[in-house]
């Protein structure tokens, strides 16, 4: 959230200033923001009528209760445990058609970089892969197969062989293999 935009919760009305700030920040059109606001209110009021989205409401809205991905995607920039409308819009922006490839790269890198140290180590990659497998019951891999995938991935992406995939290595791989980013778009009918 930028300094010039204040938090908006659903107990308030969207002002012209709020909308203008969010148009500038996200690239969403005014009509889209009004529709997003209605969607936000549905989620924010789904468990507790408190005007913000907590992690449980967020996970439920995505149909990903208990998912490591939903937890990692919960972009609470002010670290208060809740998403206000601004945080909600900024987070959706990266996955909308308004979001750039770089926006998606940054967000997905943050999902993989669990400890936030600026690099993805083998343990983090293995944890994410295990979560993927847990959420997709059709794929069964042994621990040895999982470790082989992690090793192969590091051989391909960790070009400086320091045991971590940094953002530049991740970005280069994603640019060279753009299909890995294809499924990272959220298509809400009113955002098309």
Tell me which DSSP letter residue 191 carries: G
Same domain (yes/no): 31, 92? yes
Is 10:42 a contact under the CB 8 Å cutoff? no
When divided into structural domains, the chain yields a total of: 2
**pLDDT category, 144, cuts 50, 70, 90?**
very high
What burial class does residue 90 get, using C-beta atoms within 10 Å of its C-beta: 0-12 exposed, 13-18 middle, 19+ buried?
A: buried
Q: Out of 62, 81, 99, pick the residue that ends a domain.
A: 99
Query: What pLDDT, in 10s, does the model give residues 22-35?
Result: 999 888 999 889 88
Domain assignment of residue 189, yes or no: no
Query: What pLDDT, in 10s, does the model give residues 154-171?
Result: 999 999 999 999 999 999
Within 13 A of 159's CA, how many CA atoms are on the CB side? Answer: 8
β-pair partners for 120: 165
What whole-number distance in Å separates Cα of residue 21 and Cα of residue 90?
11
Same domain (yes/no): 105, 175? yes
The CATH code of the domain that includes 69 is 1.10.238.10
Task: Judge if pTM exceeds 0.75.
Answer: no
For residue 120, the enclosing domain spans 101-181
Same domain (yes/no): 129, 177? yes
């Amino acid at each position: 959230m930028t300094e010039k935009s204040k938090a908006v919760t659903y107990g308030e009305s969207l002002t012209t200033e709020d909308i203008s700030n969010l148009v500038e920040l996200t690239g969403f059109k005014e009509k889209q923001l009004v529709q997003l606001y209605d969607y936000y209110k549905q989620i924010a009021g789904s468990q507790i009528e408190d005007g913000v989205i907590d992690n449980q409401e967020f996970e439920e809205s995505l149909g990903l209760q208990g998912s490591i991905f939903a937890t990692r995607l919960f972009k609470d920039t002010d670290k208060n445990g809740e998403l206000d409308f601004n945080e909600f819009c900024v987070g959706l922006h990266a996955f909308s058609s308004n979001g750039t490839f770089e926006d998606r790269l940054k967000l997905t890198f943050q999902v993989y970089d669990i400890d936030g140290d600026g690099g993805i180590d083998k343990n983090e990659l293995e944890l994410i892969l295990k979560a993927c497998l847990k959420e997709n019951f059709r794929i069964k891999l042994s621990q040895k197969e999982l470790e082989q995938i992690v090793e192969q991935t590091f051989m391909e992406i960790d070009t400086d062989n320091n045991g971590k995939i940094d953002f530049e290595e991740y970005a280069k791989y994603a640019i060279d293999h753009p299909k890995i980013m294809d499924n990272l778009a959220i298509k809400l009918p009113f955002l098309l």
